[in-house]
Structure 1
Amino acid sequence: MKKAFNLVLVGGGSTWTPGLLKAMCKRQGSFPIARLVMFDVNAERQRVIGEYAKLLFAEEYPELDFTYTTDKDIAFSDMDFVLCQMRTGGYEMREQDEKIPLSMGVIGQETCGPGGFAYGMRSIRDMIEMVNDVRERSPEAWILNYTNPAAIVADALKHEFPEDDKILNICDQPVNLLRSYGRLLDMNPDEFDPVYFGLNHFGWFTHLYDQKGVDHAPRLKAHIAEHGFIPVDAEQRDQSWLDTYAAVADMLRDFPDYLPNTYLQYYLYPEYKLSKLDASYTRANEVMDGREKRVFDECRQAVAEGTTKNATVIHNDAHGDMIVELAEAIAFNQKRKFIVILQNNGLVENLDDDVMVEVAAEIGINGPRPYGVGKIPTFYKGMIEQQFAYERLTVEAWFEGSYTKALMALTMNRTVVDARKARKVLDALIEANKDFWPELK
């Protein structure tokens, strides 16, 4: 019989939680869980998801010991894995992240530009606190982090915990792209052997090999050029996400070397993207009125009915599947390939060693064994170095409490560029985030 593990899910009140819980049910045979705790600082929000979870597990995983709590001792004691998806400030602050820059003629987006800067400055404090809380109670637990903006969080955690080799930062966007590639090519995405380099939300697939060593990237690029790019779950996607995926064809037309991460559109076409964003109704509003409302309403409805059988709260299976599969690969030394965020150390030969790059890695019981990609061309190197400079300056601004470093970070970002705009946006974000950020002097 396989060993069963203890897990805690941080951010239990997230709208992504039902999908993650369903992934645990689907994989109970290959990744048994003895005890699962959901933890959130927002008790009422988590309660709705937690009561739904009780029903789900009673129906699909009755032997699982499950609870949800706001108590750190209950949540973090005697754990093998910590799955983290926190959102400091909630959607209310995300809305500010998007609307404040937009009101000043600058892109407002969750993880890109000033919005990502603001979110990152909020996330660092709570992520450091969480790691310390976990290490006090479960010093050997693996911390698998989804918290955004993952690039800034990863750099901050490496700064604060340089010797902690059991923190692994990961994002589901590359696997979402791989699933969509599989659909376009009529192939099983699990059989792809991808080559990828970049930063989080800022990278490129260079090759898309199959199990026989055939590279399908040229065929995929030709398909997108002729037919456009449609995501794997297009029928579930909000219009803003469909517009995001549609931009892939534009990026490939202008820069045909590699298959781009969708978020690159904000950095390559900032003026165009700004013209398409509505300062009065942003993606945060779309989520709150859409997925947020639907997930919580359906969880409440399921509890009222006493069954989850009629609920359709699962959105984007890749999010839940991937992080559970990652834990399973570590637990049972499966040496499976994932795209993860790691310190460069020569993986991209012509980037500095301390850059937090996103690359493919084989994952087993001792963590990641990454695959290097050699030297990259000048254009991509320059793009990455500029973006990483922004990310590093953001982290330094937080640790040093430096207004100047924060201003440098926003000025460096390709969605801003102009220092006067950067100062204006920064001052407004400081006021909005006074309960979350350190004082910047």
Structure 2
Amino acid sequence: MKKQNLVVVGGGSTYTIGMIMSLVAEKEQFPLRTITFYDTNADRQEKIAKATEIILREKYPELEGFYYTTDKEEALTNADFVFVQIRTGGLAMREKDEQIPLRHEAVGQETCGPGGMAYGLRSIGDMIDLVNDIRHYSPDAWILNYTNPAAIVAEALRREFPDDQKLLNICDMPAAIMVSYAGILGKDVFDLVPEYFGLNHFGWFTKILDKDGKDHTDTIKRAITEDGFIPEDAEIANDPSWIKTFKQVEQMVTDFPEYLPNTYLQYYLYPSQMVEKEDENNTRARQVINGREKRVHTLADQIIADNSTENVELEVDIHGRYMIRVAASMAYNNGDIFIVMVENNGTIANLPDDAMVEVPSLITNRGPKPLAVGHISTFYKGLIEGQLAYEKLVVDAYYENSYEKALQALTLNRTVVDAPRARKILDDMIDANKEYWPKLHANKKAVTV
């Protein structure tokens, strides 16, 4: 089994140590020769990298090399796989993404609604540049992109790199939900076979089978409505915000019992409730800054101070394991089934061919082979078409520098709907994102009626 050279772009991420522990846990399935971290923020990366060096020394001694750098040529040359997890603007801009809509009584969330548009318009340019850089230094590398908002980024990359067969956009949220399904059933998450359709952060499980073909969907629905639903993945299990999010699934399954929803649908189905629950002064971004970021940096400091992992608790999470299992199936042509983003091309029969849909696919060394979904019914088709139009309009706004397209996108989005509100949010976001967004032309101020 060939050993791979892996590059992690965004080495300073708070998710990186969990990714490293996942690589340790999965090293028999995805053996590595080298790991290289690449980040544009040297200080942020250095702490995570120094802790990682100690983890790998203890838990992955057979690794031939570990490196970290801010030099893209050094990082990206001769890569076999590149895992991408960047955040343009950092958590400081995420906090603004969430606060601005809340000031106008709209959902303030990282990837959904106005926050997703703001984050997407910041991410597109950096992602295009990064893919071009990777293709320059490692033309044949597999690129697995985790960067959010994945739906908007995937649409932009589809337009920019239409013939790149080794570029895959993925999200771990379906897998994180399935970890809780596995807990209900007393099974390992990778023993479950999902049937699923939708867009990223906007989809539904139609069935949950096991590898013997037994259907457990009704058991899961019953457990959710009768016993409740909790997050079980290590990264989110004790997070109060995620606990509330998983609890909202009970309401969604009660109101719309046909399918099992992605948790992010709460923002689109219950936007008023979501606004009422949020606090502009304690957004999810602020909770991450005061929670996971501090926790991970404290853990890294402890490892570095001790020159050992003896006094810390390190956990494997689905964020890393999912990415690695997908990569392994590509590297070794395993043909495993995972939920990933692909160009539709008839997979969901009554959606446009050029939609970037999220569906189960066979993962091979020739790329993902999506499994046919067929026709979807009116309710789901209507919701998806509205969300898809929003995503395409955001990307149109980027390429055309169009204020009008951005306004149309926000007005169409179910978390906003109201055109005057959309204009006010957009104008505030333009002011906040001057350093990051393309200049949107025809900037007309809100009209008070």
**1:330 corresponds to 2:321:** no
Q: Deviations over 1:285-327 (max 9, x none)?
A: 111101100100110111011102322354x610011111111
Deviation at 1:212, TM superposition (A): 2.8
Alignment match, 2:48: 49
Deviation at 1:228, TM superposition (A): 1.4
Range with greater deviation from structure 2 (207-216 or 345-354): 207-216
For 1:109-124, list aligned pairs within 5 A: 109-124=109-124
Alignment match, 2:444: none
Alignment match, 2:159: 159
Q: Deviations over 1:360-383 (max 9, x none)?
A: 001011111110111001000000
For 1:333-348, list aligned pairs within 5 A: 333-348=333-348
For 1:12-411, list aligned pairs within 5 A: 12-64=11-63, 65-233=65-233, 236-312=237-313, 314=315, 317-411=317-411
Q: Deviations over 1:153-195 (max 9, x none)?
A: 0000001111111110000000111110010122232221210
Measure the CA separation in 1 of the matches of 2:148 and 2:89. 12
Measure the CA separation in 1 of the matches of 2:233 and 2:66. 30
Range with greater deviation from structure 2 (210-219 or 283-292): 210-219
Q: Deviations over 1:101-155 (max 9, x none)?
A: 1112111001011001100111101100100000111111100010000000000
Pairwise CA RMSD: 1.1
Deviation at 1:201, TM superposition (A): 0.4
Percent of aligned positions that are identical? 53
Deviation at 1:412, TM superposition (A): 0.6
Range with greater deviation from structure 2 (268-277 or 231-240): 231-240
TM-score normalised by the chain length of structure 2: 0.96
SS at match of 2:143: strand
SS at match of 1:175: helix
Asked whether the 8 Å contact 2:179–2:233 carries over to 1, the reply is: no
SS at match of 1:439: coil
Range with greater deviation from structure 2 (285-294 or 189-198): 189-198
Alignment match, 2:9: 10
SS at match of 1:99: helix
Q: Deviations over 1:328-367 (max 9, x none)?
A: 1111111111100011100001111111100000101111
Range with greater deviation from structure 2 (77-86 or 189-198): 189-198
SS at match of 1:358: strand
SS at match of 1:116: helix
Deviation at 1:3, TM superposition (A): 1.2
Deviation at 1:211, TM superposition (A): 2.5
Measure the CA separation in 1 of the matches of 2:262 and 2:101. 23
Asked whether the 8 Å contact 1:295–1:313 carries over to 2, the reply is: no
SS at match of 2:309: coil
Asked whether the 8 Å contact 1:299–1:313 carries over to 2, the reply is: no
SS at match of 2:252: helix
Asked whether the 8 Å contact 2:21–2:314 carries over to 1, the reply is: no
Measure the CA separation in 1 of the matches of 2:56 and 2:314. 15
Q: In 2 relative to 1, CA 318–53 (structure 1 residues): closer, same or farther, beyond 3 Å?
A: same
SS at match of 1:182: helix
Measure the CA separation in 1 of the matches of 2:419 and 2:426. 10
Measure the CA separation in 2 of the matches of 1:417 and 1:194. 32
Measure the CA separation in 2 of the matches of 1:47 and 1:90. 16
SS at match of 1:155: helix
Asked whether the 8 Å contact 1:299–1:311 carries over to 2, the reply is: no
Asked whether the 8 Å contact 1:120–1:152 carries over to 2, the reply is: yes
Asked whether the 8 Å contact 2:199–2:358 carries over to 1, the reply is: yes
Asked whether the 8 Å contact 2:230–2:237 carries over to 1, the reply is: no
Q: Deviations over 1:220-267 (max 9, x none)?
A: 111111111112147843111110000001001111110000000000
Report how many aligned residue pairs link the two structures.
Answer: 439
Asked whether the 8 Å contact 2:85–2:145 carries over to 1, the reply is: yes
Asked whether the 8 Å contact 2:91–2:285 carries over to 1, the reply is: yes
Aligned AA for 1:254?
D
Alignment match, 1:435: 435
Asked whether the 8 Å contact 2:231–2:237 carries over to 1, the reply is: no
Asked whether the 8 Å contact 1:294–1:313 carries over to 2, the reply is: no
Measure the CA separation in 2 of the matches of 1:310 and 1:12. 23
Aligned AA for 2:354?
D
Measure the CA separation in 2 of the matches of 1:130 and 1:189. 32
Measure the CA separation in 1 of the matches of 2:325 and 2:411. 39
Range with greater deviation from structure 2 (226-235 or 149-158): 226-235
Measure the CA separation in 2 of the matches of 1:413 and 1:174. 22
Measure the CA separation in 2 of the matches of 1:80 and 1:233. 28
Question: Gaps spanning 5+ residues in structure 1: where?
Answer: none
SS at match of 2:36: strand
Aligned AA for 2:278?
L
SS at match of 1:300: helix
Range with greater deviation from structure 2 (30-39 or 145-154): 30-39
Q: Deviations over 1:44-86 (max 9, x none)?
A: 0000100001101111112320110000011110111100000
